Amino acid sequence: MSVADAALRSVLAPEDRSHLQAICGERVRFDEPLAPYTSWKIGGPADAWIVVESETQLAEIMRFCGKRRVPWFVLGSGSNLLVGDGGIRGIVLRLAGEFTAISVTEEQHAVLVEAGASAGMAALTAKAASAGARGIGSLAGIPGSVGGSLRMNAGTDREIGDFVRDVWVQSPAKPQAHPVTVHYYYRHTSLARDAIVSRVRLQFERGDPHGTRMEMQQRLVRRKNTQPIALPNAGSCFRNPPGDKAARLIEAAGAKGWREGGAEVSSLHANFINNLGGATAKDVATLLARVRRSVVERFGVELQLEVHLVGVFVDEL
Ligand SMILES: Cc1cc2nc3c(=O)[nH]c(=O)nc-3n(C[C@H](O)[C@H](O)[C@H](O)COP(=O)(O)OP(=O)(O)OC[C@H]3O[C@@H](n4cnc5c(N)ncnc54)[C@H](O)[C@@H]3O)c2cc1C
């Protein structure tokens, strides 16, 4: 068997499939295409796609993965992911049900927001703004889930990590939800690789709800005018290098409008790559490499990827 064929073969044994079917019922689908679950609309199949609706269900799957040594990956809203055309081997988890809950508590000087990892940042920011959560505008317009945003330390001028008070995670080694301390860096965190965020508690200073909502609205309008929203993309592909902007360097390298198959460097925001229709992960990966090479050649700056590349990347299927 060739290396490519081996990489495309499911790692789930027939007994794994029957066991997953028995414990998950309709919540598991085998050989499920992942493209519909990513904002780029790109990506091959997962050996198993499981919708997990509670911390108890997640603990059960974690125990199974640990015992059977089955690889797994948690997919949030898929807004920062390039999934390979060969898909992802093992189990891909999507948190739902109780993981989408959001509760907001107003204290005298603070607004506390407790959210499940699968809650959308759009719903969270809207609710928090209505309670006057100061600084929430910097998290507005991020199309991810709470868990994905925490893993990425997503944000703009301020980041989600600035507001986090508590984080609970689950993992194969410790399946029950438990609190952990996380350190936050520019678009990444110290969160262990095998930790799935199950819920978080954020804390904001309490301000005037009207002013907070207005500020958030203005930021959303600014975003609409500066970012391509009509075509599938994954936001900024590269992190900003110290003291500069990736978009400025990419534009100055003349890359705006470059195409590879169905993928194109946006002419509105050079750090975005759009799927014009039918783009493959290979198209996007080729374009990313070309952009990176041209910025190194022109400016001597090695851009680092912000988007996560996952799964199997193959030349031809
Ligand atoms: C139009 C557009 C605009 C964007 N603007 C911004 C912006 O202003 N600022 C910014 O920072 N980002 C931005 N992004 C990128 C993206 O939205 C963020 O990185 C977002 O936080 C990713 O969340 P997600 O749920 O989509 O994560 P996914 O893309 O699904 O996953 C990203 C990573 O997080 C991990 N992950 C997901 N859920 C969990 C969990 N529960 N526990 C542990 N790990 C988990 C995944 O395994 C993966 O490694 C933008 C994207 C788009 C498409």
> What string of H, E and C letters represents the secondary structure of 287-306?
HHHHHHHHHHHHHCCCCCEC
Residue list, ligand 1 pocket, CB within 6 Å = 39, 73-81, 95, 117, 142-145, 147-149, 151-152, 154-156, 196-197, 227, 233-235, 308
* Among protein residues, the one whose CA lies closest to atom 37 of ligand 1: 148
Helix (H) or strand (E) holding 91: strand 88-95
Residue to mutate (ligand 1; options 79, 160, 224, 269; most atoms within 8 A of CB): 79
Closest ligand 1 atom, residue 99 Cα: 41
Cα(285) to ligand 1 centroid in Å equals 18
Q: Note the pLDDT of residue 1.
A: 80
119-128, 146-155, 220-229: least confident range: 220-229
- Tell me, rounded to whole angstroms, the distance of Cα 254 from its chain centroid: 28
Radius of gyration of the chain (CA): 20
Q: Which whole-number Å values give the CA distances from 132 to 109, 146, 158, 212, in the listed order?
A: 10, 19, 17, 6
Q: Note the pLDDT of residue 230.
A: 87
Mean pLDDT on 33-47: 98
As a whole number of angstroms, the distance between CA 106 and CA 131 comes to: 7
Q: Report yes or no: 291 and 265 within 8 Å, Cβ to Cβ.
A: yes
Angle at 72 between CA 70 and CA 75, to 5 degrees: 165
Please say if 306 is a catalytic residue: yes
pLDDT in tens, 130-168: 999 999 999 999 999 999 999 999 999 999 999 999 999
pLDDT in tens, 85-121: 999 999 999 999 999 999 999 999 999 999 999 999 9
pLDDT at 60 over 80: yes
Cα(77) to ligand 1 centroid in Å equals 7
In percent, the amount of the chain with pLDDT more than 90 equals: 95
